[in-house]
Structure formats: C-alpha cells, structure tokens
Structure 1
Amino acid sequence: MALPLAERIATAARRHPESTALFWQGRAVSYRDLLAMARAAEKNMAALRIPDGTPVAVVAAKSPETIAVMLACMRAARPVLVPSADVADKPLRKLLADTGALVLPDPCALTAGTAGPAVAGRPAEGRVPDGTALILTTSGSTGFPKAVPLPAAAIGAFAEWAAATFGIRADTSVLSYAPLNFDLSLLDVWTTLAHGGRVALVEQDRAAHPGHLLALLRQCPVHVVHGVPMLYQLLAAAEKHASGDEFAPVGEVLVTGDALSPGGLAALSGLFPRARMHNVYGCTETNHTFVHEMDPAGDVGRYGAVPIGRPAEGVGADILAEDGSVLAGPGRGELIVTSPFQTSGYLDPVHHAKAFVGHPDGTTPGPYYRTGDLVTRHPDGVLTLDGRSDFMVTVRGTRINTAAVEGALRSHPEVADAVVVALPDERTGRRLHAVVHRAAGSLLNSLRLREHVAAELPRAGIPSGIQFVDAPLPRTATGKIDRRTVANSL
C-alpha cells in the first residue's frame, strides 16, 4: 500500500531537504522550508483548540503558506475544505454549512505563529466521511459550487497513477496554473510534491497575463504543463514575445477541463515541438479518468474532434443510451464512470442519489458517477466528447446541443471564443443567442458567421441572435466560461 500523501512529502523532505519544492515570486522554497512552515501551522492550529475531526476551511489564494497549511491539515488527518479564494459570502456560507468546517486564520499568520482565533461555531455534525483529506469544490459556473470530499486513499492512488503516466519524479518541474480548489492541483501540486519534484506556482491574480507566465518559465523552466485550453491560448500569446527557448524543456503537455478546438490542437505542435501531448478527461468528482495521446495531424480527420481516448487503468466506464440501457458497441449516450480516484460522494443526500448510481446490470461494482457528458464511442473504442446533457435544448422541435453550436462558432478563424445560451421565446419556446469574442482586428459580422456555421449545423442550431464582443468572455477561477454571468447580462 502506498504511503499517505503527507508522509510521501515528508520522506521527500528528508531525502532532499535543500531541493526546491515550490518556486514562487522569484524565490525557491525548499522542502525543508515547506515542512517547517507546515509544522509551525500544525502547532498554531493546535493552539486554536479545534475539536479533533472537525473540518477546517482555507479561504486563501495559492501561495507557499496556503500549501503548507493544507499539508499541516493532511499531517493531522484533518479534512480541509478548499473553496475558491474569491468565493462570495453566500456560497461560502453554504459550503461551511454543508461541511461543518471552521474557517482558519490567514495562512501567513498560521505559518508565522501570529494567528488569532478561528471562526466560532459548527453548523453541521458528521457530514464529512471518515478518511477525507481534501474537500474540493466544483466551479459553480451554472449554480452554487458543491463540496466534493476526496478520501486520502483516492488522492494517494491518483498521485501514484499520475506520476507513472506522465513521468513526474524528483527532477521534474511542473507548472501549477490552476487554483488549489480545482482538481488539477492534485497533479500539479500534490503529485509533484509527493514525488520530490518542483512546483512552479502561477500567481492567481496574474494568471491571465502572458507576460507573467513567460517570466515564470524563464526563471523556473518546467517539464510538465497541465491546464485548460485558456492556458494554452495565453502561452501562445506569451510565445510571441519569447527571447529564447522558454518552451523547449516541456516534455509533457496535458489539456483538460474543456473541449480543445481543432485550431487549438494544431497550435500545440508549434508551441511545444518536443512534447508528448495528452487530452485528459475527468470531473472534480472522479478526477482524471480518460487519457488520449493526441495526434495533431490525424485526430480531427479521423474522429471529427479531439478524442478523450480510453479509460485509465482501474477506471470503469460505460455509455447509457436514452432508454437507460448500456450501449454495447459504437454509438452515443451519457458517460458513467467509476474510478479509484473518485470522491466518496456529495454531502447532500438528494444530490448524491441523483449523481452516484449503481451499474444498470445490478452486479458490476460501483458506485458510478453520472457525468452528464454526452460522448460518442467510435468503432475502434475511442471516445469523443459531444457536449453535456444539460446543454440539450429543443428549438422549433429539434434537439440541439449548445456545446456543438459553440464548437461550430469557434471553428471560424476569426472567432477567439464563443458561448451559446438558450433564451425563452414566446413563438418557438427557446431561441439560441450567441456571445462571440472576435479575434483582434476582426470585422466579422453575424451574416458571415451564420453562413459559416450553416455548413455544420441544422437550421434550428443557427443562433438567432449573435452579439460580438472585443473583450474575453467572463470565466470562473478554474478557467471555464462563466455561463451564469453571461446569461445574467443578456
């Protein structure tokens, strides 16, 4: 059995105490320093007299101090809730009520020994399952974020799989772009530290600045890059100002969290000419479960989209047809997944029962997570992602997947990004409205764009309204389009 994550990190610190664990704001934080901060945080949390087993919440941006406090919680076997650093008051209160977590003082104060008292009160009892290490949160892009408790054993199993699959060792540097509440951090931060590697931390308030990313790569060359498609758009912008071979050390590129366009796939080859490129699929609830080594020259022509590939070792996956039966061969339906890396389930029994189900055959071990993602299984067994079941709408009697409409819009060379929402309509019931971010300097108009998408979409799928914007679309902290903000602005 693998050692718990905290013990793995402590072992790395003993073996290579002066090796860099974290690179942050131009300075290296050694494993010795990281462990010292974690021990100081442990001591100061003990002085707060928080009852054993009570979950705590770290509401702070990514930093060495924040990571040290989370490590201290793991060492003490105390579940730690990690909401978005800029979470609003109402969703934070709900997360605290759902988990019974107490908000810890600022990580800088905890690691320096100047912390005051924790927030008093405990709204709920016994909600977090035994063995929970981290409580991550969903993006909340379509509603309130959900708490996702992850068992220590699941995180440990994932760290072993990810390190072996993507070559993360003691001499490996990994770029940490995602915030700590996003499941990507399980690879970027925790898998890397568990194997003695170096984590190059992107500052969250500068994450959208290509210049910051380029400066970080110059100061701390990285071997593994892992992020949502937006990260690679920013790196492509940064590469135009590169003065040398800042991107040359990268040997593994992982794209996840959102669909990768054919244009985005083509751009990766030029950006990282020496790297293996992977499309990685997963949810916060299951972590990474599918991997596909991308072929920029052949994937789109062969499958019509960038595949999500095949299940990782130990992952079970099936496709449900519309009647709830399991699809045996090629075809299309909703993906259900069970994984050794997955959550123990939602804390709300109603949400849990809807999302975590037994296998339809009644005998295959589970539980299975209903992803809500629609996929196509091709004759060779490879899967491609078609969109989400909750993005399916009926327009003039025709079932339309708004994700497919977005993909058609993004395929125009003058479209930088696009989002489609279904609005109520007195005559047709629903109508599609697109908000399109044009490429810089483009004079693209709605007539030309409708003509472009008409070749790919049924008539009902062509947006009746197209609004052009010259600024990037709003996004959540995890880099996904903030659909709720877009819908509220219309």
Structure 2
Amino acid sequence: MNIATILDMAAEAFGERTALVAGTSRYCYADLRAHALRAARMFKASGAGYVALLDVNSPAGPAALFGAAYAGIPYVPINYRLTRTEINELLGRVAPAIVVVGPGQRPQIDERADLTIVDRDDVLALADTDGEPPVPPEDGRAIAVQLFTSGTTGKPKAAILRHENLMSYIVGTVEFASADTDDAIIVAVPPYHIAGISAVLSSTYACRRMVQLERFDPELWIETVRRERVTHAFLVPTMLQRIVEQLEAGASSIDLPTLRAIAYGGGKMPLVTIEKAMRLLPHVDFTNAYGLTETSSTIAVLTPEDHRTAFASHDPAIRRRLGSVGKPAAVEIQIRDEAGKVLGPEQAGLVFVRGPQVSGEYLALGSQLDADGWFPTKDRGYMDADGYLYLDGRADDVIVRGGENISPGEIEDVLLSHPAVADAVCVAMPDVEWGEAVAAAVVLKPGAQVSVAELQELVRSKLRSSRVPQRIVFKDALPYNETGKLLRRVIRQEFA
C-alpha cells in the first residue's frame, strides 16, 4: 500500500476538515490532496529520480511528501541548517532531483544541470490541468522516504523507508479518523526529522488538524497553543525543557487549557524535566515515544497511565519507570550481549528490534537486519521483569574503566538531581591507569554555585566510587544539534 492512500482516505472521509494551519493560511484535506496531486504531475513530468525539500515547516512539505508518493518518486527532505557545502553534497547524492525550496534557500544550492529548483510558493500555486490524476504505484517495497542521518558521528547515511514500513507503523499505531473535530497538533519538529514525517502521516490518518511552526521558539509555541486551541504536541526533550522554563517564569497551567497530550522523544529526557512538566501541566497526558529513523518512528511507548502511576508511587521499582521508554509497541525487542546472546531482565546490553515497520536499510549499504530480521539499534539498555525498556545511551557512549562498562546516563541523572545543576553530560576521557575515566561537563542554573568536590561527593554517595567523575568542568551551555540531540563527541574531543 502506498502512503498516498492515507491522504486519499482523509480527503474522501473528511474533505472539508482543516488539515493544515500555517500562520494565516488554512488548508482542508481536500485542498491538501489537490495540491499534492498537482505537485505529483509536475514531479512526474520532470523525470526526476527524487523529490527533495529544503525548507522549514510549511504546507509545501506535506504537499511534496504526498505528491512524491502519488508520483512514485522517493521523497528526501534535507536539513536546511547544514552548511552550503553539506547541502550540496547531499543533493549531489540524490541527483537528478527536483528540489522544492523555501524563501532564501535557493542561493544555498549550486547550479547544476541535474537539479531542477522550484520555489515552494510555486508548488502551492500550481493550477489544475486536464487529464487523469497520477495513480500512485501500489508496490509496497518501493522507497517512500529517504532520510539522511544527522551525521553527528561521521558522514550522513541515507536511511531508506519503504511504503510498507511506514504504512505498517501508521496502521499499527493510529486508528483512522480517530481525531475529534476540535483536535489539533502543533508541529514544531523540522520536516527532515522522522518525527516530522510521522507527524504528517499519523495526523492525516487520524484526520487531525496540523498547526505548523516554522521553527521552534518556546514563547511562540505557548502563544500558538493558546491561539489555535491546540490539543496535542510532540517535543524533543530540549524543547520541553525550554517550555517548562517559560511556564516556571510566570505562566500557569490554566493558560494552556486545551492542551491534552504531549508526546516526547528523540533523546534522553532528564527525570527532573518530566517531573516538573507533570507538576506544571497536571491535566496533560504525557507519552514517551522511543523510536529511530530506521524503524519508521516509534517502537516503544511509556503511556500516560504509566507516567501517572510512576509519578505517584513511593515504590522505587515503579517510580523509576519515569526514566524508562516504556514497553514495545507493535514490535519485538531483545537485549543481547556483545556475543549475540539474549539477556534476561535487568541485564544491560545492546537493543535489537524486529517488526514490519523496521526498515534497517541504508542506500549503498543495504539491509542491516540479521538472518532472523532483527535490527541492531546501536542503543544500549535493559528491560525489567515487567517489560519496561531502559536506555543507557548509544553503544559508543559507554565508558570502559578498567574493563567495567559504565553508563553515562546514570551519572548524569545524579548530577541533574543537584538543585544548582541545569544540564550535565558525562563522557570518557583517557586515563593511564584505567584506560578510560569518567569526565563531566556541567551547566549551572543562573546565579547558582556548587563546587567540583560537592558534585563528586554527590555521585559517590549515590553510586559506586568508580562512577565518580575524575574531572568536572563548568560550561555556559552544552552542544546540541538542531533536533535536540546532545553532541557528546564535541565534549569528548574537549576532554581528549
């Protein structure tokens, strides 16, 4: 099944329902399908092998996504925050392509014969033409979306998501037309992120109104939620942290009366942040959605009920679930050791996932699935006896001190529990005696003070002495990429 079917179903069932809000512009589902079909005609006539997008959030994104699907051409959103050199390197990898660009983006692209550049306003202004609309190919194995990984550890890889992967995820996690007439989701994650793709597909299948923000800003986010009476949101942890700071600075939960649900993911959520958010917004259902680009988005969910039960519990085994990513959702998950042996509850190892929504495939590299269909996520973690998954970070984040594997996450959680600490990261630093030692970079709250010795003693009191950071430095801010992922390699380089 082609992902364009999602838009067909929404337009036929609720054609007059508002699909998109972008500033003062509004599009119903019938409008969105009409724009996508017009775009599809242009894409197909161009002879391009790919449809690329270089733009912030705008109606041109969903129109290009579905238009490419109708035309049977892979859709490739490009990170507009990259350098000119990086953008052109990625476009060179998908040429010949037609590139939909936002305002000010055209000068970023080098002139070349195998790229056709089209302004997004021109895509949205296409007129109806005579003839039958394009019929979307029904090959579920065809490539629907190609996403370049963030490249925080090297050259970006091109992750491939086929129509059958994305449709399996949507049909397995969303009920068609499940949104009420007044439901609206605010979309602040960028269009080149898997969360941006899944927001469009899942909201369209639910027939929910999408309210787009070009770029995330906490004050604008809060203002837009109020003005548009938004009911749902997806945020990465750094976004939620900044919203919490805004609310703590003066806004109260009554100022967001329509907001009913916040899903978050895309990085580790500090325990202190989600606890504050639940106190500030007690009427909101929080969901932790753990997923990867290669798995078509979410593979594990910590439900609103899980959040409330853990938040209210005095049992440490239940309370700690707030730090988990929940239970598998429509997939299977295994924890394995380095030799491939499946581990039991509470045993930390490498996270593997299997299911029809899992692509696990890269252009030029091929499938990374093993013989039984399992994909190595490169994340480390463990599952408890009740099936809740806890992540320890990426496999290459582990600190190996004297042969002992140390998870930086557990040390970071302790540091963040100190009232003076706003942010913290732990990485490996070279050590003559132990091979690697623990190093930490800490950001203090405005006006707060704490000594290195005090933080070291805090870690020693909560964890074993081997977990105590050998070196702690104070910084004004930690380095994050545009989707809220902490750039540990930058910190590692500083300690190296």
TM-score (norm 1): 0.84
Structure 1 segment 243-322 matched on structure 2, within 5 A: 245-286=254-295, 287-293=297-303, 294=307, 295-298=310-313, 301-303=316-318, 304-305=320-321, 306-313=323-330, 315-322=331-338
Q: Which runs of 5+ in 1 are unaligned?
A: 116-128, 360-365
Aligned to 2:438: 432
Superposition pairs for residues 133-144 of structure 1, below 5 Å? 133-144=144-155
| Structure 2 residue 488 is the aligned partner of structure 1 residue 483 | yes
C-alpha change, 1:114 and 1:236, in structure 2 (3 Å) is closer
Q: Are residues 482 and 321 of structure 1, via their aligned partners in 2, closer, same or farther at CA, if it must alter by over 3 Å?
A: closer
Shift of residue 254, structure 1, vs aligned partner = 1.6
Q: Which amino acid aligns with 2:486?
A: I
Change (3 A) 1:166 1:176: farther
Q: 2:239 aligns with which of 223, 231, 240?
A: 231
What is the Cα deviation at residue 199 of structure 1?
0.9
Residue in 2 that maps onto 1:75 = 70
The answer to whether the Cα contact below 8 Å between 1:57 and 1:83 also exists between their aligned partners in 2 is yes
Residue 39 of structure 2 corresponds to 41
Paired AA for residue 203 in structure 1? E
Q: What is the deviation of 1:57? A: 2.0
SS at match of 1:390: helix
Counterpart amino acid of residue 316 in structure 2: G
Asked if 1 retains the 8 angstrom alpha-carbon contact of 2:6 and 2:201, the reply is no
- Tell me by how many angstroms 1:91 deviates: 4.4
Q: 1:24 aligns with which of 18, 22, 25?
A: 22
CA distance in 2, matches of 1:101, 1:264: 45
Matched, 1:106 2:104: no
State the SS of the aligned residue for 1:289: strand
Partners of 2:444 and 2:341 in 1: CA distance: 42
One-letter identity of the residue aligned with 1:339: G
| Deviation, structure 1 residue 47 | 4.9
Quote how far apart the aligned CAs of 1:336 are. 0.7
Amino acid at match of 2:160: P
Structure 2 alignment gaps of length 5 or more = 104-117, 125-139
Runs (4 or more) in structure 1 with deviation over 6 Å come to none
Q: Which moved more, 1:224-233 or 1:429-438?
A: 429-438
Letter matched to residue 171 of structure 2:
E
Report the alpha carbon displacement of residue 392 of structure 1 after superposing the two structures with TM: 1.6
DSSP-derived class of the 2:311 partner: coil
Q: Report the Cα distance in structure 1 between the residues aligned to 2:464 and 2:423, rounded to whole angstroms.
A: 21
One-letter code aligned to 1:133: A
Query: CA deviation digits over 1:277-324, x for unaligned, max 9?
Result: 2222221111211112223223982253522222113x1221213432
Question: Is 2:412–2:425's contact at 8 Å kept on the other side of the alignment?
Answer: yes
Retained in 1: the 8 A contact 2:43–2:98?
Answer: no
C-alpha contact 1:44 1:110 (8 A) present in aligned 2: no
Structure 1 CA distance for aligned equivalents of residues 96 and 359 of structure 2? 18
Question: Which letter maps to 2:40?
Answer: E
Identity %: 26
What SS does the aligned partner of 2:462 have? coil
Structure 1 residues 212-238: Cα deviation after superposition (integer angstroms, max 9, x where no partner): 111111221222222222121122123
Q: How many residues align?
A: 457
What's the counterpart of residue 114 of structure 2?
none
Cα distance per residue 1:240-265 (max 9 Å; x no partner): 44377343222222221222232223
8 Å contact from structure 1 (residues 169, 192) kept in 2: no
The corresponding residue for 1:4 is 2
RMSD over aligned Cα, in angstroms? 2.9
Say whether the 8 Å CA contact 2:253–2:281 is kept in structure 1: no
Tell me what 1:363 maps to.
Answer: none
Q: TM-score, normalised by structure 2?
A: 0.83
